[in-house]
Amino acid sequence: METEQKTVALIDDDPLVRKVIKRFLKGSGFVVHTFGTCEEFLAAVASFTADCLVLAVNLGSCSGFDVARHPLVTALRVPVVMMSGCAEEEHRAQADALGCVAFLSKPLRPPELLDAIARAVGP
């Protein structure tokens, strides 16, 4: 029996981070859509179904928290994994308050990322 691939939407403003994480997740069996800005993601979110969002906290024009709170995203009820290069307690508390599945510090450790996504998408 073949299992359906889960889809991850990755939003990070660093092209190298997007490339590395996308390659890793694809190699782990996920379908991955990447976006460099909040606006790019919000313009495309209705065109595909994501099982999990992986959001950077700092995205330039807005934050990953802004994306997670956006009405289009909250209506979809998609689990969120938040990540940050400067993991401050305030960010961790905001992620907890939003109900994020995980808050990860960059540089990401592959097992932690896979574990967080697995918890988000379920069996």
Higher pLDDT, 40 or 87: 40
Q: Is residue 37 part of a domain?
A: yes
User: The domain containing residue 35 runs over which residues?
Assistant: 7-121
For residue 100, being part of any structural domain is answered with: yes
Residue 2 has pLDDT above 90, yes or no: no
What's the pLDDT tens digit per position in 20-35?
999 999 999 999 999 9
Residue at 2 is within a domain? no
> What's residue 7's pLDDT?
96
One-letter-per-residue 3-state SS of 78-106 = CCEEEEECCCCHHHHHHHHHHCCCEEEEC
Q: How far apart are CA 21 and CA 61, in angstroms?
A: 22
Residue 64 lies in a domain: yes
Tens of pLDDT, residues 62-116:
999 999 999 988 888 999 999 998 768 889 999 999 999 999 998 899 999 999 9
User: What torsion do the CA atoms of 39, 119, 6, 113 make, to the nearest 10 degrees?
Assistant: 70
Q: Report yes or no on 29 lying in a domain.
A: yes
Q: What is the CATH number of the domain that holds 113?
A: 3.40.50.2300
Q: How large is the average pLDDT for residues 45-58? A: 93
| Number of domains forming the structure of the chain | 1
What are the tokens at 119?
Answer: 């918890």
In a domain, 1, yes or no: no
